[in-house]
Amino acid sequence: MDPSSTGIQEPFDLIRLSLSERVYVKLRGDREVTGILHAYDGHMNLILSDVEETIMIVDVDAPLEERRAVKMAKRKMEMLFVRGDGVILVSPPSRT
């Protein structure tokens, strides 16, 4: 089976492949999100379910030696709408 004959013409076609699959989304503001992609649009607005958001926090006020450790705050959401202007990248989750 020749996969490209099924018509991948634009980058969004690649995102389409990840529909109803778990995706990793990197967002602006040191956030990343993993969840099952349900829908997307031309603005890269995404609907994700079963989401885990990770926020990297660097305490600027802390002394230098402590600052190396980046704190991670995590939270889970059942369903999430991600506005497209914050999306940096969308990828299938890295598999081991």
Partner 1 sequence: MSFFGFEEGGLEHEKKKFLEGGLKESEDVAVYTWGEESYDGLGDALLEGGDELNDETFGATGAIGKDFDFSSQNLPVTSPSTGRVHDQHSRAIEQQPRERTPRIEVTGSSPSVQPHAPPADSLESIWDDKSPFAILSRMNGAGHSADHQRAPSASKSPFLPSATNDNRAIGHQTSIPQGVNHTGVRTLQEIEAEMHAIAQQSRISQRQELLRQEQLQQLRRQQEQQEHLRQNQLQQQDLLRLQQLQQLQQRTPPPRMLSHSQSPRFHAHQILQLQQEQERQQQHRLHELQEQLRMEELERHVRAQQVPAMQHQGQSLGRRQTSFNDLQAAQGVHQRRIHSPAFVDQQHTQNSQNAQLLPHNIQLQQRLLSEMAQAEFMRDMQGVSPAEQEQLRAEAMRKIMETERMEERRRRKAAKIAHMSRYNDLMTQSDKDFITRIQVSQLVTQDPYAEDFYAQVYGAILRSRLGLQSQDERVLKFGSGGGVGLGLAQKGGGRRQSAMQKMEAQVERIVSNARLREKEKGLHSLHSLQGALGKTSGRSYKAAPRQLLQVEAANATTPTMSGAHPHISKEDAIETNGEGAAREAAKLGREALGAAAGTDGVVKMEPLAQRQVLVILESLYDLVLSVEQLRRDQPPEEDEVAFNAWQMSYEDLTEQLWINLKVMVPLETSDPHPFVSLLTPAKGKKILPRLSRHISGPRMLTLLTLLVACFSQLDVFKQAGLLDSVEDTPERQEVDRQTQAFLGSVMQSILPVVAKAELRLVSGLLGLFLDRCDVVAAAQTKPGIAILTLFLSRVEVIKQNMSTVVDSPETPTPEEAQQWQLMFDHLFQLVAPHFLALFPSARLASALPLPSHGPAPPSSSLPTDIIDQPIWQFLAALALHASSEQQQILVSTLREKVLENVTSVSKGWVADEEEGELKLANVNLFLHALGLDSSQIEI
Among the listed residues 76, 82, 83, 21, the one whose alpha carbon sits nearest the alpha carbon of residue 54: 76
21 part of the interface to partner 1, by CB under 8 A: yes
Q: Does 7 bind partner 1 (CB under 8 A)?
A: yes
Q: By CB under 8 A, which span of 10-18, 23-31, 55-63, 66-74 interacts with partner 1?
A: 10-18
Q: Where are the beta strands (DSSP E) in the chain?
A: 22-27, 31-40, 46-57, 71-82, 87-91
76 binds partner 1 (CB under 8 A): no
Asked if residue 74 binds partner 1 (CB under 8 A), the reply is: no
